[in-house]
Amino acid sequence: MLAGVRRTGPLEWEVPVGFVPGMRVPGKFFLSDALSGTLEEGAVSQLANVATMPGIVKYSLAMPDIHWGYGFPIGGVAAFSRNEGVISPGGVGFDINCGVRVLTTPLSVESLQRKQELLERLFSAVPTGVGARSSLRLSERELEGMLASGARWAIEKGYGMAQDIVRCEQKGCMEEADPSAVSAKARQRGMPQSGTLGSGNHFLEIQAVREIYNPDAARAFGVAMGQICIMIHCGSRGLGHQVCTDHLRLLEAATKKYRITLPDRQLACAPLDSPEGRAYFGAMAASANYAWANRQVIMHSVRNVLENMYGIAHQEMHLVYDVAHNVAKFEEHVVDGKRMQVCVHRKGATRAFGPGSPDLPVEYESTGQPVIIPGSMGTSSFLLQGTAIAMEKTFGSTCHGAGRVMSRTKAKKSLTGKQVRESLGRRGILIRAPHDAAIADEAPEVYKPSDEVVRVVHELGISRLVARLEPLAVIKG
């Protein structure tokens, strides 16, 4: 482990104040010995740098999928006081509200027929890859509706059912959205991309439930052994990326204007109540809404395919939950024994609210929030539940995935898409992508083992295992 970093528990590590000059709070990250070899010195430095930001409370945190990112480490969580804190695009990321949802079906592994045909039909129904264009023809007014209302807009337009909304984090809409803070260029990029999967680590996966760890929670979530589920992972596409780019420039100027001293210009920020801070928050919330609407439209297309192929009614396919990975939100948490409102930045981290928390559907009040941790194409994904421990220790947060250990450039040099396709095929996993390079980028070998990352958060108690889902067929962006 790095010099100066202290072990405070079997799975907990502390970066003390003073690790870098100007730290206001300690850093804390969660990691097993098995994962320690994947820890990057740069990611720990970023964790410490975040601790220098004005108004940060309690800790600068990182989950076991920690790796180097822009400004904040990916896997990073930080909360800032409402009155003295700041907001930073580096704490959210370029793919605003990149997130994941799980759809259950009445199909079982035994009854799943024509798997290759299903994969092809889904690939045709959901535009995929860099620059993928939607079959939707949005007007300016409709785009405005997406930005303002999120998943609710999609459902009002016929892309889903009313009950889907309550199964989305924050009911699929941040009411603080300010579409006027979204630039014309961002709108131009977002207009043709609604209902598209995109590229990078985005995917649509046909999965089978292979293991149940908590039968009561699994029953509440509507999942059962051998059941076929569909997992959708994507975000706000080019619109969110452009919003981040636009506001980074504004906040770099604001950092100087408000005389905020930072160790890394990638942490550019502004006070939460400043004009620049409010503008970024409003644009970010609008981008998050676009992402929720995007995933809702994709899920509707998936339901249509399953209905046409297998005669399954839409009402028989239930959304378990939709979680956001890259977002900043105002929440109430207990800090040093006092309940206060904070702006929680989660950058490659998942909300994991415990039982009885606000914003949970009635059916999940006793279990806690469903937490979805996707695997890496050839590895298992996991369904977990949020806990009271997460509320106490991590601002109700947990990991968001496996975490990369190899850059996309290195992956392309080390592997070919054909090799990965054949390797997965030998295990019975089908794969579809716009081209082979997209497959090599996201090979299972370029990620930490998802089961070990999930074991850490389970043993820490910041989320608890409910079910394991195994990939049967994958569409990669």
* Residues acting as catalytic residues: 400
With b for 16 or more beta-carbon neighbours within 10 A and e for fewer, the 193-230 pattern comes to bbbbbbbbbbbbbbbbbeebbbeebbebbbbeeebbbb
Place of tokens 């962006």: 477
* Residue 56 structure tokens: 């940060």
> In which residue are the tokens 């956001």 written?
324
Contact assessment for residue 128 and residue 201, using Cβ atoms and an 8 Å cutoff: no
As a dihedral over the C-alpha atoms of residue 232, residue 233, residue 238, residue 243, rounded to 10 degrees, the angle is 120
Secondary structure string (H, E, C) spanning the chain: CCCCCEEEECCEEEECCCCCCCCCCCEEEECCHHHHHHCCHHHHHHHHHHCCCCCEEEEEEEEEEEECCCCCCEEEEEEEECCCCEECHHHCCCCCCCEEEEEEEEEECCCCCCHHHHHHHHHHHCCECCCCCCCCCCCHHHHHHHHHHCHHHHHHCCCCCHHHHHCEHHHHCCCCCCHHHCCHHHHHHHHHHCCCCECCCCEEEEEEEEEECCHHHHHHHCCCCCEEEEEEEECCHHHHHHHHHHHHHHHHHHHHHCCCCCCCHHHCCEECCCHHHHHHHHHHHHHHHHHHHHHHHHHHHHHHHHHHHHCCCHHHCCEEEEEECEEEEEEEEEECCEEEEEEEEEECEEECCCCCCCCCCHHHCCCCCEEEECCCCCCCEEEEEECHHHHHHCCCEEECCCCECCCHHHHHHHCCHHHHHHHHHHCCCEEECCCHHHHHHCCHHHECCHHHHHHHHHHHCCEEEEEEEEEEEEEEC
C-alpha 402: how far from chain center: 12
CB 209 within 8 A of CB 466: no
d(CA 304, CA 314): 8
